[in-house]
Structures are given as structure tokens and as C-alpha cells.
Amino acid sequence: MNWPSSVTEILQRYRTMRELRSMERSERVEGHWAFRNRMIEALEVLDRDQPKRAAEIWDHARAVFPDEAVKSDLALKLLFRLQRYDDIEALMKAGHDRYPNDARFAEGAAQVAYERGNLDEAFQRATVLYRKYPRSTVGYRTAAASLSLMNRFTEAETVIAKGLNALPHDVGMRIEYAKLAERRKDWLAALERWTYVDEVHGHVAGAAGAASALTMLGRYEEAESLLSSRLHKFSAEMLIWLQFARISEGKGDWEEAASRWAVVRKRFPQRAVGYVSSLPVLARVADREQIEAVLLEGIDRIPDDPVCLKEYALLAHRAGDFALADQRWSTLRACFPACREGYELGAAALAALGRTSESTRLLAQLHGQCRA
């Protein structure tokens, strides 16, 4: 009788299967952490304003760990920052198909429609989201934000009120509530709502938002005092320093505003806002050579972002120096071939120089890219 032998074989198969399952679990765990580490690396690279390198890391990690890419919140965060919206749509669809009861994928779908500027679609997706998942803050916030940007403020207030009723202590909901008042330009309501975010939640957006509302109300000393009282806590937050500059702009003190924008650039040298948003102020107090020096610093500091290079070309274009503008638009096209302004305004510069055929060819090149 071969019964003992059969038992031995069964036990051996069981041990083999258990070992295989253990190996599979180990591989999944290793894959999870390997992918997560790659996403952290990509986000750190992006913080250093190297979007091309961050995108390369994402593309490679997705190819090696396709299953992890679908489930990763860090991947979603990275893709939003890279504006890889088609990738997000694909991941959200794959995730929803695989995990139909997981709210994250419906949240991502609503957010990507909003970021694309497809506000009606974003509102529709977000409405479905918060009705199915009433504890999802993303649904209420995205629906309310979409409505407000479509100037449907009463409906937006109704939606956010539902969200606050369901999740009264959620800081994201409170921030969106304050933003609604800002979009309506109801500065007293905005001040009240931002003050709540500041005092109850201790969030930097509350302090900056309240100071912004005070600035819009012409209460500059109060705005200065508020920000100064928060510096010990938020000195590393760019929002605070931006608002200091905007208070000076509100007062019409352009020299002080220029000085404060210089502080923003010094503290946050790899953030384009310090270079680009200071241009209207610099136009009042600095000559063209000084403004160009600021933009050249931005181009040097943030080589992977086209915004400073684009403004550098625009400076020559607006001055009517079309020969110089042509050179700069050409540089923009070479460095950032997907940037439409390099073609459209480059063609305009060529046309102004009387080089009509070159202008036409450049526009045709752009249209050919769009069709592709």
C-alpha cells in the first residue's frame, strides 16, 4: 500500500506551495518598497526643479513595477506635479477596474478633470464621488471649487456646507471654504474663514490667506503684524514671504515691494514665482538691464522650467526688439520644443522683421506637431 508515500508527496507539495507563496509575498513587499523609494527620489528631484529627470524616473519605475504604479499615492502626487494628466487618467481607470470600491481612484479622476480645466466634468465626477463616499473630502472640495470657477457661487457654498457638516474638522474643507469667499471677492468673509484656519488649525494657508484678505481691505498694518507674529513658526514657508511682498504692492510702495521680492528669490532661488511674479514691480523701479539680470538668474537656477526663458524672450518682444526676440524664441524652441509660445510668438517676431515665409513655416511646424 502506497498511502505513506502519498502523504509524503502531499506534504512536499504543500511545503513547495507555501514556499512559493512566501517568495511571492516577499517579492511584492520588495517591489512595493523599491517603487516607493523611486517615487520619493522623483519627488525630491522635482523639488530641485528637475522635472525632466523626475519624469524619467517615473517612466522607468512604471515599466518595472506596473502594479505598484496603480496603487501608489506618491505616484499620483508626482504625476499631478508633472502635469502628466493622460497617465493619471489611465491609472485611475485601471485602479477603478481592479478595485471598484476604493475611493482613491474616483478622487483622482475628479481631480485630474479639475486640473485639466474641464470644470463641468470635474463637478460631475466629484458629485458622484461625494454621494458614493460621503467621507471623501476630495469630492466636496473639487465640486465646490469647480462650481465657483464657473461663477456658480451659491451652489458651491451649498456643496461645501454639506462637506463641513459631514467633516467639520477637516482643514482641507476649511481652506476651500475660505477660497470660495476669495473668489467671490467677499474679503470680510474671507478674513473670517482664513482666521479660523489660522487659529484653529494652525495652517500656514490660514495666516497667509488672512493677511491677503486684510491687504485687500486696505488694512496693511494688521496684515504686516499678523505675518510677523507667525514668522517664528512659518519662516521656511514661501507663502508668508510672498504675502509680505504683496502687502507692499497693495500699499503702492514699489521700492519696498522690489526689495521683498528679492528676499523671496534669495530664500527660494529654485522657485520660478520669485522671478516671474516680481516682473510687474521691477518694471516700475528697474531698467531693462536689471530686469534681464533677474530673469537670467532664474534661467540659470531653474534650467528645466521654461517660464523664465519665456519671459526673457517676451521682454525683448514687448520692447519691439524683434531681432533679439527671434533669437530668444529660437532658444526657447530648442530647449522646450513643446512650448507653443516659442512658435507662435517666434512667428510673430519673424513677421515683424518682414521674414514672412519663415514665419509661415514656423507656424506650419507648430500645427504639424499638434496634429501629431
| One-letter-per-residue 3-state SS of 73-88 | HHHHHHHHHHCCHHHH
What CA–CA distance (Å, rounded) separates 74 from 96?
A: 17
Residue 190, C-beta contacts closer than 8 angstroms, at least 6 positions apart:
178, 181, 182, 209, 212, 213, 216
Residue 32, pLDDT score: 81
Please give the grid coordinates belonging to residue 185.
471677492
> At CA 78, angle to CA 74 and CA 80, rounded to 5?
120
Residue 21, pLDDT score: 65
Domain spans, the chain? 185-251
What CA–CA distance (Å, rounded) separates 270 from 11?
A: 62
Alpha carbon 209 to its chain centroid, in Å, reads: 18
Residue carrying C-alpha cell 459631514: 166
Residue 211, pLDDT score: 99
Tens place of pLDDT per residue across the chain (372 aa): 454 556 667 667 767 666 666 655 555 557 788 899 999 999 998 887 788 899 999 999 999 999 898 989 999 999 999 999 999 999 999 999 999 999 999 999 999 999 999 999 999 999 999 999 999 999 999 999 999 999 999 999 999 999 999 999 999 999 999 999 999 999 999 999 999 999 999 999 999 999 999 999 999 999 999 999 999 999 999 999 999 999 999 999 999 999 999 999 999 999 999 999 999 999 999 999 999 999 999 999 999 889 999 999 999 999 999 999 999 999 999 999 989 999 999 999 999 999 999 999 999 998 876 544
Contact 315, 292 (CB under 8 A): yes
What CA–CA distance (Å, rounded) separates 273 from 279?
A: 10
Contact 32, 68 (CB under 8 A): yes
Residue 370, pLDDT score: 54
Going from the C-alpha of 63 to that of each of 57, 68, 362, the distances in angstroms are 10, 10, 35
Residue 372, pLDDT score: 45
Angle between helical axes of 85-98 and 73-82 (0-180°, round to 10): 160
Please give the grid coordinates belonging to residue 265.
528669490
What CA–CA distance (Å, rounded) separates 145 from 119?
A: 9
Residue 1, pLDDT score: 45
**Residue 330: how many other CB atoms lie within 10 Å:** 16
Residue carrying C-alpha cell 521680492: 261
Please give the grid coordinates belonging to residue 228.
510677523
Residue 121, pLDDT score: 98
Q: Would the pTM count as exceeding 0.85?
A: no
